Chain A
Amino acid sequence: MLFFSYFKDLVGREVTVELKNDLAIRGTLHSVDQYLNIKLENTRVVDQDKYPHMLSVRNCFIRGSVVRYVQLPPEGVDVELLHDATRREARGG
């Protein structure tokens, strides 16, 4: 649940999602669900010349199972908070 909550806090931020087919999509995080499926708004593919397959897509749903990385804005990362949360989770509560 930790990463679900973590991503929920990032809603509204600009992120880049890299998929397991090497496609990288940049957009505003609209929502996340329990499977870490991600919805992005105002999307654009990072290398549009190589990947024109999504030129007419502005909003998309990405299945959590195909996500390789989510690149976050630096200001969206609070390492201390994450440390505390992971420790709390490891302690079981």
Chain B
Amino acid sequence: MTDLKIIGNRNSQQQPDIKLLRLLVDKKMATDAGLENLVDQIISVITNDGRNIVGVLKGFDQATNIILDESHERVYSTKEGVQQLVLGLYIIRGDNISIVGELDEELDASLDLSALRAHPLKPVIH
């Protein structure tokens, strides 16, 4: 927003540069839509084959490729509670990602995963 103010002041005598303003707004929207706010936070990724991987987001790019640190998979089943498999450092290709969710640690701590039973998520069918 500071960028916008600077331009407003510079052009205060003339018409504001609409094109430049629009470019900045678009740029701001583009960064809003990215994953930079989630870097170094715990995220929950749902992949196209229905897996749920939880880890710390370390990096990403415009294709939604993702680097996850200290990651583990949460395996859902109807027979027993959620199993956690340790995976470690993972890179997930963007093509295979459905959802990147910001994990609310408080909410997550209040969940009893061992009592949670559900069918695994269905794979994405394009």
Interface residues of A (CB under 8 A from B): 8, 19-23, 25, 30-34, 37, 39, 43, 50-63, 65-66
Contact = CB atoms under 8 A, between A and B. Distances in A.
Nearest to A59: B102
B124 A33 contact: no
Contact of B98 (A32, A34, A63): A63
A23 B98 CA distance: 10
26 contacts: A8-B29, A20-B98, A21-B121, A21-B123, A22-B122, A31-B29, A31-B33, A32-B29, A33-B30, A37-B64, A39-B32, A53-B46, A54-B99, A55-B111, A56-B44, A56-B105, A56-B107, A57-B44, A57-B104, A59-B101, A61-B100, A61-B101, A63-B64, A63-B97, A63-B99, A66-B48
Given A51-B118, A62-B98, A66-B98, A56 B108 contact: yes
Nearest to A62: B99
Given A19-B98, A62-B98, A56 B103 contact: yes
Contact of A53 (B32, B64, B121, B124): B121
Main secondary structure of the interface of A (DSSP, over half): mixed
B98 A51 contact: no
B19 interface: no
Contacts of A66: 48, 98-99, 124
Contacts, number: 99
Given A51-B118, A63-B64, A31 B32 contact: yes
A55 B125 contact: no
A53 B100 contact: no
Contacts of B105: 56
B118 A53 contact: yes
Nearest to B48: A66
A92 to B, nearest CB: 20
